[in-house]
Structure 1
Amino acid sequence: MLVDPGQLRLLALIEEFGSLTAAAEALRLTPAAVTQQVARAERQWQVPLVVRGPRGARLTEAGALLAVHGRIVDETTEKAAADMAALLGHLSLRLRVGAFQAAALHLVPPALVALRHRHPDADVSVVDLVSGQGPEAIGASRLDLAVVASWSDSFVFPPQVAAHPLLRDPLVLVLPADHPLAAGPSPAAALRLEQLRNEAWVTIVAGHAAREQFDRAAKEAGFTPKVRFETESFDVAQALVGAGSGVALVSRLALTHVPGTTHRELARPRLHRRLHALTQTDTTLTPLVEVYLGLLRDVAQERAAAWRQADQEPPE
């Protein structure tokens, strides 16, 4: 038999109030509608459930038994409502962010400061993230937003993940400060990759998308780079350049201006990576995601504007 929870709740209310009219008011129904429901329930259970009298109504033994379960239904639905309210309240304040190192240093913090001003009660957490882990972390709901870098303009994200463009991050050449090309006739002039064909290079480790991009560009420029050091970190690459170990291609966002180094724009090919913020396609339950995404976009636009201004300023 398919049991109607509404019937159980009705019987519990009749027992509580001792009246069909009072039960009808609690359910916001008419007394006639409640009478019909009682009749339907008695037909279904094939036993009398309610005894009507001049002073109200009382339950039969069978009706009282079902009313016990009706009270459980009421308690369960009330708990469900409370649990859902608590969940929605928590989710409305929750923001779990993941970001790769350069973004975690230069993009995430300013946006967090702005978020704290708007929502001081926000429950925010930030974790370090390898870009390749971002789509899976978002798809599995372990993070609400992930800032990732992609080295291909045709990168495809999973269908349940929304990718929001943030920034085109150009690669720049990092040279020892005393390198002949660091001064040259015009220190502000961009350099071509083939001008460094005979240099020793500090590169990202083989197999990484950044290294694959560099190797393709060097091949198109007509040379095979002499790789002296490999690293997984742009920070380490710049430190090695500062130590005189070679030259390197580094993301502009990751520039640390290590003492003993300088950087020059790359003329052609103009290599870059693209930064995206990843979220789930539906962020209805986590409204801070959209707020923080807007703040991240503002920070990224300010960074891009600062780069453009620096490129236009004449050298000192």
Structure 2
Amino acid sequence: MDVDLRKLRYFVAVAEELHFGRAAARLHIAQPVLSRQIRALEHELQAELFVRDRRSTALTEAGSQLLADAYPLLDSAEALRRRVRQAAHGRATFTIAFMPGIIVTAEARALAERHPDLAVGVVRTSWNEQVEVVRDGRADVSYVRLPVDQRGVRLLPLFSEPRVVVLPGEHRLAGRASVGLAELVEERLLQDPEAVPEWRDLPHRPTEPDPRPRPQLNSVEEKLEHVAAYGGVVILPLSTAAFYTRPDVVHVLVDDLRPNQVCLAWAESNRSPLVREFVDLAERRARATETSPPAPGE
């Protein structure tokens, strides 16, 4: 049985909204049409995907499984569409994505020198999209910082680096050479705790719960603005903190945090010889630097 990608996109919209009316508006289709398409998909899969009543919509176990599998499948289809469109227009391109603080100049230059007719581009990513860009075809490869969702991608470990806490310049710990994670137990972590799994294991005992919601921060610059304004602290890889220097914040080594692992990621479905060639370039570069990251600006 072939899965209809249009029905799958409709399903994802309903699964994310958990409301047929909102999903229909998001998809710009009539709600009865959406309901028929979901029923048809359930019939094709021989599984109930939603539990519905007049008040709520919830995923069944089968629906939850389909949602988990739908994302990489739809991303792979989008990546295929992008690659075919580029080939149809005769555009030979290769895009390298990277997380803040990671320098990709040497590898990009080496690939461009090998292929003078190839347009080599770069794009900076964020924590939430660093793997998504290779799944959906916006980038051919991506330099990522673990942990990441590894579904549908392959990873090549490149190097690791220490992690630091970024503090306001006048913070009580600002003059220290290093700190332990437990010394930060009273601090307000500004970023998603998933980015610092060790933080969840701390015995947090603030004297009074912080009523402020965690801000939506989409860039390093936004994080540093909040830190400088005494809004909290962030944990960053050393190269990121060193790259984004400013006079009103400091970074201090957290000596009991595991190093941050940097990997090269690419989609399992991307069979381009250029990807394989770039993987080899990145691997040789990592060996040449003896698992140490290049200094910012190199």
Distance 1:179 1:95 in 2: 44
Q: 2:173 aligns with which of 160, 176, 181?
A: 181
Displacement of 1:202 in angstroms is 4.4
Aligned residue type for 1:261 = V
Matched with 2:292 is 305
- CA displacement, residues 125-153 of structure 1 (integer Å, 9 cap, x when unaligned): 3344455556565456554223333327x
Answer whether contact 1:202 1:240 (CA < 8 A) is retained. Answer: no
Aligned residue type for 1:98 = A
- CA displacement, residues 38-87 of structure 1 (integer Å, 9 cap, x when unaligned): xxxxxxxxxxxxxxxxxxxxxxxxxxxxxxxxxxxxxxxxxxxxxxxxx6
Answer whether contact 2:140 2:266 (CA < 8 A) is retained. Answer: yes
Matched, 1:216 2:200: yes
- CA displacement, residues 97-149 of structure 1 (integer Å, 9 cap, x when unaligned): 3334x1xx633334212333333322223344455556565456554223333
Q: 1:120 aligns with which of 107, 116, 120?
A: 116
Matched with 1:157 is 151
The runs of 5 or more residues in structure 1 that have no matched partner are 1-86, 309-316
Distance 2:294 2:132 in 1: 32
Matched, 1:265 2:257: no
Matched, 1:241 2:234: no
Give the fraction of aligned pairs with identical amino acids, expressed as a percent. Answer: 22
User: Aligned residues, how many?
Assistant: 202
Displacement of 1:192 in angstroms is 0.8
Matched with 1:292 is 278
Answer whether contact 1:242 1:258 (CA < 8 A) is retained. Answer: no
Give the TM-score normalised by structure 1. 0.50
Give the TM-score normalised by structure 2. 0.53
Matched, 1:204 2:191: yes
Q: How does 1:90-101 map to 2 (within 5 A)?
A: 94-100=93-99
Aligned residue type for 2:254 = L
Aligned residue type for 2:247 = P
Aligned residue type for 1:276 = C
The runs of 5 or more residues in structure 2 that have no matched partner are 1-86
Answer whether contact 2:112 2:120 (CA < 8 A) is retained. Answer: no
Question: Structure 1 residues 127 and 175, CA, compared in 2 at 3 Å: closer, same or farther?
Answer: closer
Q: C-alpha root-mean-square deviation of aligned residues, in Å?
A: 3.8
Displacement of 1:292 in angstroms is 2.4
- CA displacement, residues 220-244 of structure 1 (integer Å, 9 cap, x when unaligned): xx54596665342333222322334
Matched with 2:215 is 230
Matched with 1:83 is none
Displacement of 1:191 in angstroms is 0.6
Aligned residue type for 1:277 = L
Greater shift, 271-280 or 128-137, is seen at 128-137
The secondary structure found in structure 2 opposite 1:230 is coil
- The structure that has the greater radius of gyration is 1
